[in-house]
Structure 1
Amino acid sequence: MTTSQEELLPGTRRALLHRVAVAQSEGRAPSLVAAVVRGGRIVWHGARTSVQGHGPDENVQYRIGSITKTFTAVLVLRLRDEGALDLGDPLEKHLPGTGVGEATVADLLAHTGGLAAESPAPWWERTPGSLRPELSDVLGEQPLLHPTGRRFHYSNPGYTVLGALVEKLRGAPWEEVLQREVLDPLGLDRTSARPKMPHAGGWAVQPWADVLLPEPTEDLGRMAPAGQLWSTAHDLARFAVFLAQGDDRVLSAETLREMRRPAAPVEAADVADGASYGLGLQIQHRDGRLLFGHSGSLPGFLANLTISVEDDVAAVVLANCTSGPLLSTVGSDLVRLVAVAEPRIPEPWRPLPEVDPVVLELAGPWYWGTHAFALRLTPDGGLSLEPLSGVGRRSRFRRNGDGTWTGLEGYYAGELLKAVRRPDGTVSYLDLGSFVFTRQPYGEEAPVPGGVDPDGWRGIGQTPKP
């Protein structure tokens, strides 16, 4: 990935530096490094440090904690795409005897499996992984705290189980599979399970005095798929581009879109925060934008990856302290600063290279009862249905090749759209999941459920025709 510090305006660069400087100073972080991605490359990076005359750059490793979970989720989705498993498979089908076998693969990815948040004591993040050599040591005697699939409950052991699932189906250690299937293809040369020089040291900062305590750096063993990795701002920037665009050597853009869709029931507190969870990705609505990515923490380190696909902006923020700066806020602020100061310039409008007249006939206004909609052809060969009022059900549709279309999102996700034609081949009406769409409100020739009054539309003082 190339780096260009000249692409952003000077005022934008100063605003970004100011934001990370405030985060490092007020958060009392020994060091903080950040990078911003746009157009598939780093367009800004900056750092602040407590060590005079020395600052980390985008190639210094920090521990990234739970951002590791997104890497593990990518491995699981690769297995799904290859047909080795189904997201609806109960864990018992592939890993019998764990005690959490009712939870599905999707449940574990979305933290809805009902598993405990942590493994049994002692605190796994500050103790050697050798204390938990087996999966049973990670899960404990009562691994389930909630009914499976009923609520979101963040679970580190859940991702340990997913790592074990990868190992079982690949016949190789999680770390080896990750290197071969994700890190090498994406060129993430400075992402590793163990630190490589140059790397930051992890520190705890005393809450009431400006003094430091070194944090232990433990190998997490079985818990590695939940939080083991070290990485750099540069590598995570490259990973952000992959998560936004896809890479067919690893995962397709369509699978990445699936990962970004909410997959967990939202708790009341999460509704207030505008937050939800997909398949290995955190999702949030902030400042009017839809953001996804993941945060991470381990003793001595904080990390955040935030991406806005619509704005084509991503931010990476890393710090070497146990607590202090709220990096999820910093990350979303960096995205916002660039998106507001230098909004994305849209691609030039271009006409379609070719169009099927049979499909073109579907375009235009349609009515579901008295609700007005517009059906449009999309550049990717699909269709989009949008309410003309701007409020209501909308969806994109994928062409099936047999004259029907399948909804991709919202209320109509998975629903079938088909054009019903007259004997002469022209379109009479649209059938969308049993809803009848007509060219005029309650079109008389269409089989509108309940029928249409034969006297037609009338004013308030008119009487029906004799």
Structure 2
Amino acid sequence: MNQVGETTARALLRRLAVEQAECRVPSLTAAIVRDGELAWFGGRGRIGGLPPTAETQYRLGSITKSLVAAVVLRLRDEGRLDLLDPLDKHVPGTPFGDVTLAQLLSHTAGISAEPPTDWWERTPGLPAADLLARLEPGHRKHRPGRRYHYSNTGFALLGEVVARLRGVPWLRAVQDEVLDPLGMTGTTARPRAPHASGYAVHPFADVLLPEPEHDAQAMAPAGQLWSTPLDLARWAAFIAGDTGGVLSPATVAEMREPATVNDGDAWTSGYGLGLQLTRHAGRRLAGHTGSMPGFQATVWADPADRIGVLFMANITSGLSDSLLTDLLAILDEHEPRLPDEWRPAAADPDLLALTGLWHWGSTPYVLRLLPQRGLSLTPVSGKGRISRFVPQDDGTWLGLDGYYAGETLRVGADHLDLNTFIFTRTPYDPSAPVPGGVEEWQA
């Protein structure tokens, strides 16, 4: 049963109601996703005199970028491109053809945040050819890879990469490869009924100003799409790992890996590959914020807890920064997740014999057997190089995380060879190939 209880639902709705009333939002919706299913939905305010529903459309804004990124990763997984490819390989002739696709995806390419046009969010868009013709060397603001610098222009270029490799407009590729397979039928490029209208709220009076809406054309991959709370809930489940075959769970996990941080040593927010990242109260959340004139939206997912949370609103600005994390805190307070039941599992006797104490020089480590023949290697002290390993067809193990991510572990007759480091059952075992024993221990 994924629906939240009555007490929890009341507490969640109250937090949403406070936000809508105190921030003066024409309409505000929010939802909780648990184990891939919608567990709670709330709506406040009015659209055409009626409360918003889970099928009411709002603008996604920059959440659109994550959907474009998913198609780029599909192209990578198909072998059509490499994330280290320079932009020039797929869209030749720009002034920054040397930046990589990975840098564009992670906003580390150093390209100007906004395009060389009028305020693109508020004026009719230009075709891709016209935008590309306007790009100049001066639109490079930082050395590629040096720092996080959010770039709407960069995602316009990624949309063009998708269009050229797929041979169809970027939106068609997103529709066919992401939206349709995930059942996100309420997500469109332009609004369809029922939808909210976008407004700005006067700072000193309770009156509204309608905001513009148009086709951004070349800039559309940076923030064009409209969607519903129901569809965004499905996207939250996707980010949390319920990928529906659109991408492998491993590729979505790669999208969630921090490629850069944008607040230095604090590391409370960063960016992966098309996904924003934030850390809060012990959670590492992945998703994206979005804003366009008259609209704000955000979706976060915690894959460790299989939880997603989102809001959608028709207001240009003014919402608090804590709405979604407050909703998560309410859920944790009222309905904390129970740990999965422990169950015994069959173990290969040869692997079972490998478990236990090993030594890297004089430092003791513990090797443990994980599900699906995986291994973990952890210092006894709990501090140091901790890694997990997954089995390979050639009899070796591949490092999954930590210092040894991507490195190879080989099992010898009486030692472990981890990328040339030798682990032995006793410190400095003289029978090991390296260092081959040492002089006797001294007092």
TM-score, normalised via structure 1 length = 0.90
Match for residue 424 of structure 1? none
Residue 371 in structure 1 maps to residue 363 in structure 2: yes
Deviations 1:231-288 (A, max 9, x none): 0111010111122224353111010011111112x34x34325111100011111111
Match for residue 206 of structure 2? 210
2:402 pairs, out of 401, 410, 415, with 410
Match for residue 327 of structure 2? 334
Residue 136 in structure 1 maps to residue 132 in structure 2: yes
400-409 vs 168-177, which deviates more?
400-409
Query: How far has the Cα of 1:139 moved from its partner?
Result: 3.5
SS of 2:219 mapped into structure 1: helix
2:282 pairs, out of 273, 284, 288, with 288
List aligned pairs for 1:26-425, cutoff 5 A.
Answer: 26-49=22-45, 54-130=50-126, 134-136=130-132, 139-140=135-136, 142-247=138-243, 249-264=245-260, 266-267=261-262, 269-272=263-266, 274-326=268-320, 329-352=322-345, 354-421=346-413
Residue 11 in structure 1 maps to residue 7 in structure 2: yes
Structure 1 gaps of 5+ residues are 422-427
Query: How far has the Cα of 1:51 moved from its partner?
Result: 6.7
1:438 pairs, out of 408, 418, 424, with 424
Deviations 1:80-139 (A, max 9, x none): 010100111111111110122101111110111111111124110000013876232564
435-444 vs 14-23, which deviates more?
435-444
1: CA distance, partners of 2:84 / 2:20: 43
2: CA distance, partners of 1:35 / 1:241: 12
Alpha carbons of 1:320 and 1:105: their partners in 2 closer, same or farther (altered >3 Å)?
Answer: same
SS of 2:371 mapped into structure 1: coil
> Is the CA contact 1:138–1:222 (under 8 Å) kept in the aligned structure 2?
no
2: CA distance, partners of 1:234 / 1:357: 48
Query: How far has the Cα of 1:67 moved from its partner?
Result: 0.3
In angstroms, what is the RMSD of aligned CA positions? 2.0
Structure 2 gaps of 5+ residues are none
2: CA distance, partners of 1:68 / 1:52: 26
Alpha carbons of 1:89 and 1:55: their partners in 2 closer, same or farther (altered >3 Å)?
Answer: same
Say how many residue pairs are matched. Answer: 443
SS of 2:189 mapped into structure 1: coil
> Is the CA contact 2:66–2:275 (under 8 Å) kept in the aligned structure 1?
yes
Query: How far has the Cα of 1:444 moved from its partner?
Result: 3.6
Query: How far has the Cα of 1:448 moved from its partner?
Result: 4.5
Query: How far has the Cα of 1:344 moved from its partner?
Result: 1.9
Query: How far has the Cα of 1:199 moved from its partner?
Result: 0.3
Query: How far has the Cα of 1:367 moved from its partner?
Result: 2.0
SS of 1:129 mapped into structure 2: coil
1:225 is aligned with what amino acid?
Answer: P
2:181 is aligned with what amino acid?
Answer: P
342-351 vs 398-407, which deviates more?
342-351
2:240 is aligned with what amino acid?
Answer: A
SS of 2:51 mapped into structure 1: coil
2:435 pairs, out of 442, 445, 449, with 449
SS of 2:181 mapped into structure 1: helix
2:363 is aligned with what amino acid?
Answer: H
Aligned sequence identity (%): 52
> Is the CA contact 1:26–1:325 (under 8 Å) kept in the aligned structure 2?
no
2: CA distance, partners of 1:50 / 1:32: 9
1: CA distance, partners of 2:15 / 2:156: 35
Match for residue 425 of structure 1? none
Alpha carbons of 1:91 and 1:358: their partners in 2 closer, same or farther (altered >3 Å)?
Answer: same
Query: How far has the Cα of 1:441 moved from its partner?
Result: 3.0
Alpha carbons of 1:273 and 1:415: their partners in 2 closer, same or farther (altered >3 Å)?
Answer: closer
396-405 vs 436-445, which deviates more?
436-445
1: CA distance, partners of 2:34 / 2:349: 38
Alpha carbons of 1:314 and 1:211: their partners in 2 closer, same or farther (altered >3 Å)?
Answer: same
124-133 vs 144-153, which deviates more?
124-133
1:393 is aligned with what amino acid?
Answer: R
Alpha carbons of 1:221 and 1:133: their partners in 2 closer, same or farther (altered >3 Å)?
Answer: farther
Alpha carbons of 1:17 and 1:253: their partners in 2 closer, same or farther (altered >3 Å)?
Answer: same
Q: Give the ranges of 4+ consecutive aligned residues of structure 1 lying more than 6 Å apart after TM superposition.
A: none
Query: How far has the Cα of 1:355 moved from its partner?
Result: 3.0
2: CA distance, partners of 1:136 / 1:53: 44
1: CA distance, partners of 2:335 / 2:419: 42
1: CA distance, partners of 2:88 / 2:205: 50
Deviations 1:137-188 (A, max 9, x none): 5645533111112211110010000000000000001111111111111110
Deviations 1:37-89 (A, max 9, x none): 00211110101116796310111000010000000000000000101001111
SS of 1:93 mapped into structure 2: helix
